[in-house]
Structure 1
């Protein structure tokens, strides 16, 4: 399994970009594909997958899912060991490694270059909503888990979407607005990282991993994260913690490549069945594009290290509504459509605030997941019926 992650990760040069980004009028970003042709590794992968025909695309779609699953499993193990070996916060490492939505940033660059800033903004908002309404909701439904996050982190998480309100009310987002949002992103992420380095007690003290950490600083790893083949390779080397971080980077690169395979395969499969302009097709593609975040949230929870899963959720939301939107505004100005102010942004604010309340409650329960997921479904229905489309994030 490690070999698979190592091989595929060496091929990665740019992250995946969701191709079905919705414009502000709800139209799918098919024009984005025409105006901003993808090149580099991603374009090569898409060309290769298209050349395999429908059956080949299905096989590659399955292969992408397998590689993604393997590399997510490896990333969880590597980050856990790196945190323990370097005596770093696992929660902080999770935010750094999984919270940055590089694929959405690349998408913003591509769409902005093709004069499709509205589609890029829609994808940023869609990602922020999907990470809470889909991934966090599914994690709570699959396995309810205790939450032990400092109140100031929860407040940052809840307030992040509100930072967009004054900019949206301005009507036109400019270069200066982009710099301010990027600055807010740097401040919030830096605050969490610095606070984690200063904390003597780990976040998620009442999780399986937290309970195993002994007073003398030692740790007995839970069975779910113990005994992987790489333990014999890294062992007790002096730089073991750094080596685990290097392996984590390789696993993350494997996740990016697997996401590319999933995206390219899904395009061919959906196109082959004539679903690209239907609600069902959009739904299928959204599920595929969010599969990476789903795995990065559910698997850590299932294996007793929810620090990684919740770090992914909080980091992704903070990045999507500040850093990613800031990148779009730095590149070009954007007129904000009425639907963003009237519906899409308020939906992100409400669902994020609801999730923050549940996280602050001390335990994410199954009914919390059903409620968050239900809100997401209602959002989809209203967006499709009233506004004609949904910003889609991956």
Structure 2
């Protein structure tokens, strides 16, 4: 297949749009977190919300629905959820196998939260009513997690970058006389490091402006500007993506579930693997549970409210079965308290099969 210059140009705009969205999300999170600290808002609840809501992926899906590309939007929902379950957990299992006890309540959330979206898919279309119901489910889920966490000594749903802002005392307590957290030192206990000399740094924190000493109103203003950048970047991404899959004859559902979701979700590797590397696997589990819950409730719900989405064909034949398989593997490993290399390989294999199925059918 000969790729025309226009397709190359659209691909460049696509990558530029994704990069802009991801950078603006980083700025937004930093600004909102600092605003919470400056204005006295509960940092814990903020962290719970930010860990569960995957902003850049949600914005891309909503933008696709607004410009009447509902299949592209639905593809991002499945693709992003599968990236977190299969790639993020799979890479963590392969590089840094770990053990931990996961509260049964969160395992039940992970396993059962996709069922309403699956039930809505059986009818062939997720429309306005189903969308409202699905979107509304995310709020009580957050409320339940908040209630459960207040009764627990261990917090699970804390995004790492937010934790470092709102929990400075804990970060200081972890430092040793050698200068740095134990998990970052060369003599760290086995299981806290990669073991293979690999360092994965996908956060891009060096490109995020320093807001630690700014006032609350200033950081809120930065957050507002970041949302403007999010809007511009998402429109650029979605419109260029449409040009690409139309020019190449690719299904918008397949493109959204594979290329768009993969590029937009790369950051999830850092949010899942880095906490494990630093000896905080509960943060990784929180990111997986919170993100999965968001994708199959609020994300798909908002998309359906903006534009009804068809769930015939590949949705029931490819997307739901592979999603269920990945969810089963992850749930079994977490229930056993061990994320293993074998399980990681199985998850990565399922993700590879997902890409093949999207373009073979």
Q: TM-score, normalised by structure 2?
A: 0.64
Partner of 1:163: 116
- Using the TM superposition, give the Cα deviation of residue 327 of structure 1 relative to its aligned residue in structure 2, in angstroms: 0.5
Q: For 2:318 and 2:263, how far apart are their aligned partners in 1?
A: 25
Q: Does the 8 Å contact 2:89/2:272 carry over to 1?
A: yes
Q: The residue matched to 1:115 in structure 2 has which SS?
A: coil
2:329 is equivalent to residue 354 of structure 1: yes
- Using the TM superposition, give the Cα deviation of residue 339 of structure 1 relative to its aligned residue in structure 2, in angstroms: 1.9
Partner of 2:60: 107
Partner of 1:179: 132
Partner of 1:338: 313
Partner of 2:79: 126
Q: For 2:267 and 2:171, how far apart are their aligned partners in 1?
A: 32
2:297 is equivalent to residue 303 of structure 1: no
Q: Does the 8 Å contact 1:157/1:356 carry over to 2?
A: yes
The change in CA–CA distance for 1:342 and 1:114 in structure 2 (over 3 A counts) is same
Segments of 5+ residues of structure 1 without an aligned counterpart are 1-49, 205-216, 388-394
2:263 pairs with one of 284, 288, 291? 288
Q: For 1:345 and 1:370, how far apart are their aligned partners in 2?
A: 20
The change in CA–CA distance for 1:287 and 1:341 in structure 2 (over 3 A counts) is closer
Q: Does the 8 Å contact 1:111/1:119 carry over to 2?
A: yes
2:91 is equivalent to residue 116 of structure 1: no
Q: Does the 8 Å contact 2:57/2:264 carry over to 1?
A: no
Matching of residues 223-372 of structure 1 within 5 Å = 223-224=180-181, 287-372=262-347
Q: For 2:301 and 2:99, how far apart are their aligned partners in 1?
A: 33
Q: For 1:322 and 1:131, how far apart are their aligned partners in 2?
A: 15
Partner of 1:9: none
2:355 is equivalent to residue 380 of structure 1: yes
- Using the TM superposition, give the Cα deviation of residue 124 of structure 1 relative to its aligned residue in structure 2, in angstroms: 0.8
- Using the TM superposition, give the Cα deviation of residue 334 of structure 1 relative to its aligned residue in structure 2, in angstroms: 3.1
Q: The residue matched to 2:345 in structure 1 has which SS?
A: helix
Q: For 2:173 and 2:95, how far apart are their aligned partners in 1?
A: 26
Q: For 2:302 and 2:41, how far apart are their aligned partners in 1?
A: 32
Report Cα offsets for 1:321-377 as digits up to 9, x if no partner: 111111022223333222212221122122112211111221212222111111111
Q: TM-score, normalised by structure 1?
A: 0.59
Q: Does the 8 Å contact 1:94/1:307 carry over to 2?
A: no
Matching of residues 61-140 of structure 1 within 5 Å = 94-140=47-93
Partner of 2:193: none
Q: Does the 8 Å contact 1:182/1:322 carry over to 2?
A: yes
The change in CA–CA distance for 1:256 and 1:352 in structure 2 (over 3 A counts) is farther
Q: Does the 8 Å contact 1:120/1:328 carry over to 2?
A: yes
Q: For 2:305 and 2:153, how far apart are their aligned partners in 1?
A: 38
Segments of 5+ residues of structure 2 without an aligned counterpart are 1-5, 158-169, 185-209
Q: Does the 8 Å contact 1:134/1:376 carry over to 2?
A: yes
Q: For 2:304 and 2:108, how far apart are their aligned partners in 1?
A: 25
Q: Does the 8 Å contact 1:185/1:322 carry over to 2?
A: yes
Q: For 1:370 and 1:377, how far apart are their aligned partners in 2?
A: 11
- Using the TM superposition, give the Cα deviation of residue 88 of structure 1 relative to its aligned residue in structure 2, in angstroms: 7.1
